[in-house]
Amino acid sequence: MDLDFTAAEDAFRAEARAWLTAHVPHTPLPSLETEEGFAAHREWEGTLSADRWSVVSWPEEYGGRGASLLRWLIFEEEYFAAGAPGRVSQNGINLLAPTLFEHGTDEQRARVLPSMASGEVIWAQAWSEPESGSDLASLRSTAVRTDGGWLLRGQKTWSSRAAFADRAFGLFRSDPDAAKPHQGLTYLMFPLDADGVTVRPIGRLDGKPAFAELFLDDVFVPDEDVIGAPGQGWRVAMSTAGNERGLTLRSPGRFTAAAERLTGLWRETADPSDTALRDRVADAVVKARAYRLFAYAGVSRIAAGGSIGAESSLNKVFWSELDIALHETALDLLGPLGELSDGAADAPAHGGWAEGHTFSLAGPIYAGTNEIQRDIIAERLLGLPKGRR
């Protein structure tokens, strides 16, 4: 791995930094988990897209810049360092888009990706069900064959962004007689305003509807919205899961920028004699930088023809635990003020630390619980025997 950047990469970083300096809102946008904030973040996606910064690594024909993964990492570092808004379109661009690039048709990519890049269509993730979370293969929602497409029936829950999003993607059981639970599944896209769809928001700890339940009652989906072959949804879904646990959902720039802000918070507020708190700040900074190096190593491996594979589980466990530790340290530095949300006039960082902490608590659960990830690490990376389940 070469840790030096080329002149062209430095120029790319400078271009990104200049654009972000000129365009990042001076006042943080409202939380994207509210209707007002969702609309504001959608508008921000349009601003990014207008100058092709919303999906820098995508081909130009879909709204990107055709940038390498290394340049994507550089952009992400600049993006988070600039304090730019959270990405309301992340489910689409980080999860569905890689799936379409790998398993979709040319028609699907041409139809879906440009409106995703511009923020015109925001996507929700619809995988979990009331009795099917980390054990995804136990899902019960069905896709029944009908003339020209499929009828979706069942219930999805904890669907990220679904309270205000336009469309969703998920996995459905299309062959109830398949020999094994992960067989006979089909990966489909569907509109959230279609006949038969009921969206019921779920309040987060702070009351904001970050998730929603979806009730599907004979929702018609045409054949053109099946990704991959019918019955082969598990194989398609695993590429989505790999992206979710690996690089795309939690790029290192997010943590290095947060660690820098934490260091600043320490300088502003801490008692220098509190060495225990000082050590926690230092630990967060060291781990954020270690994660950055791990990510660069992964990108170098991919650029050389390799893949992330089961190591995405290492990523997932590491960043989810780092995220909690980093935010808990910030709240301990802030004291009671740290509990104030974005609705309070005195909330530090406009409530960003409080909201970030709330969100971080979900990290060890979503994208496959950390218990499941540790099983994968033990079995596939360390070669240990399967444990009891």
pLDDT at 1 over 80: no
pLDDT tens, position by position, 255-307: 999 999 999 999 999 888 889 999 999 999 999 999 999 888 888 888 888 77
Residue 246 near residue 237, CB atoms below 8 Å: no
Token pair of 178 as six digits: 């398949």
Mean pLDDT calculated for residue range 231-252 = 71
List residues bridging with 127 in a β-sheet.
none
Rounded Cα distance between 48 and 46, Å, is 5
User: How many alpha carbons lie under 13 Å from residue 55 in its C-beta half-sphere?
Assistant: 27
Per-residue model confidence (pLDDT) at position 240: 66
The answer to whether the beta carbons of residues 329 and 255 sit under 8 Å apart is no
Residue 99 phi/psi, 5° resolution?
Answer: -65, -40
Q: Are 317 and 369 in contact (CB under 8 A)?
A: no
CB 188 within 8 A of CB 248: no
Residue 29: pLDDT band with limits 50, 70, 90: very high
The model's pLDDT over 344-361, given as tens digits with 9 standing for 90+, comes to: 778 888 888 988 898 898
Non-local CB neighbours of 150 within 8 Å, separated by 6+ positions: 143, 144, 172, 174, 186, 188, 220, 221, 223, 226
The residue with tokens 């990042």 is 24
Q: In 3-state terms, the chain is what percent helix, strand and coil (to 5)?
A: 50, 15, 35
Q: In this model, does residue 242 exceed pLDDT 70?
A: no
Looking at the chain, list the stretches that DSSP marks H as alpha helix, in order from N- to C-terminal side: 7-23, 35-50, 69-81, 90, 97-103, 106-118, 233-245, 252-269, 275-303, 312-334, 352-360, 370-376
CA distance 169 to 173: 14
Q: Over the chain, what is the mean pLDDT? A: 90
The residue with greater pLDDT, 96 or 138, is 96
Residue 214 Cα to chain centre, angstroms:
19
Instruction: Concatenate the DSSP letters of all residues of 58-110 into one string.
Output: S-GGGTS----HHHHHHHHHHHHHTTPPP-TTHIIIIIIHHHHHHH--HHHHH
Q: Is it the case that residue 131 has pLDDT exceeding 80?
A: no
**Using CA atoms in the order 203, 204, 207, 209, what is the torsion angle rounded to 10 degrees?**
-50
What distance in Å separates the CA atoms of residue 2 and residue 316, rounded to the nearest whole number?
24
Average pLDDT (167-194) is: 93
Alpha-carbon span 356 to 322, nearest angstrom: 12
Report the residue count for the chain: 389
State how beta strands 167-173 and 197-202 pair: unpaired
Kindly state the percentage of the chain with pLDDT values over 90.
Answer: 62
pLDDT higher than threshold 70 for residue 389: no
* Residue 134 pLDDT: 64
What pLDDT, in 10s, does the model give residues 33-48?
A: 899 999 999 999 999 9
Which of the following is catalytic: 244, 260, 321, 355?
244
pLDDT of residue 172: 96
In this predicted structure, the answer to whether residue 367 has a pLDDT above a threshold of 80 is no
pLDDT at res. 248: 52
pTM of this structure: 0.87
- How far is 165 from 244, CA to CA, in rounded Å? 19
CA distances from residue 87 to 16, 285, 339, 380 in whole angstroms, order as listed: 16, 24, 24, 32
pLDDT, tens digit (0-9, with 9 covering 90-100), for 77-90: 999 999 999 999 99
62 in Cβ contact with 43 (< 8 Å): no
**Average pLDDT value for residue range 183-198:** 96
Euclidean distance between CA atoms 341 and 334, whole angstroms: 13
User: Does the pLDDT of residue 98 top 60, yes or no?
Assistant: yes
Q: Helix, strand, or coil here: 247? A: coil
Mean pLDDT of 207-212: 83
Give the model's pLDDT for residue 243: 58
Residue 198, pLDDT above cutoff 90: yes
The pLDDT value recorded for residue 205 is 75
How far, in Å, CA of 219 to CA of 189, rounded? 11
Dihedral through CA 74, CA 76, CA 77, CA 80, nearest 10?
160
Instruction: Please choose, from the candidates 264, 350, 351, 352, the residue with its C-alpha nearest in 3D space to the C-alpha of residue 27.
Output: 350
What domains does the chain contain, in order, with CATH numbers? Answer: 7-87 (1.10.540.10), 123-232 (2.40.110.10), 250-382 (1.20.140.10)
Tell me if residue 244 is catalytic.
yes
